[in-house]
């Protein structure tokens, strides 16, 4: 069954699977989240809500913070998390970005949220 899904996902979205850190399983989850009408997702921000990654203000006083809205499907969020972890380990550009953001005073988690 996984071999069939791998071939189907690779045929359906070869550009997605070609991205660093994106395999057929994570790509399949993101395609499933986009659904039959991907045109409704006009931007990356529009994709955050169904992925349970839409920011919700959690500020108090002088602190400006955000947390994730956990009211949606957590499976695409897990797929995105897997992609980030793989890219932080193996993708040169992502490792440079995290290093640059860390020197700016952010933690690894904060640099991935930005």
- Domain locations in the chain? 2-35+42-113
CA distance 74 to 78: 6
- The residue assigned the tokens 């395609």 is 31
The number of helices, as runs of H, and strands, as runs of E, in the chain is 7, 2
Q: What is the pLDDT of residues 49-76, one digit of tens each?
A: 788 777 778 777 777 777 777 777 788 8
Q: Residues with Cβ < 8 Å from 76, sequence gap 6 or more?
A: 29, 30, 32, 33, 50, 51, 52
Return the closest-CA partner of residue 53 out of 87, 25, 81, 31.
Answer: 81
Q: What is the pLDDT of residues 22-39, one digit of tens each?
A: 999 999 998 888 887 777
pLDDT tops 90 at residue 87: yes
pTM, entire model: 0.76
């Amino acid at each position: 069954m996984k071999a069939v899904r791998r071939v189907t996902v690779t045929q359906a979205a070869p550009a997605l699977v070609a991205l660093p850190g994106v395999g057929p399983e994570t790509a399949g989850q993101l395609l499933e989240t986009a659904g039959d009408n991907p045109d409704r997702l006009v931007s990356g921000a529009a994709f955050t809500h169904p992925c349970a990654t839409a920011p919700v203000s959690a500020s108090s006083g002088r602190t400006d913070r955000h947390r994730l809205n956990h009211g949606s499907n957590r499976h695409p969020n897990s797929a995105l998390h897997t992609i980030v972890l793989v890219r932080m380990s193996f993708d040169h550009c992502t490792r440079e970005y995290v290093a640059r953001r860390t020197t700016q005073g952010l933690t690894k988690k904060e640099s991935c949220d930005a």
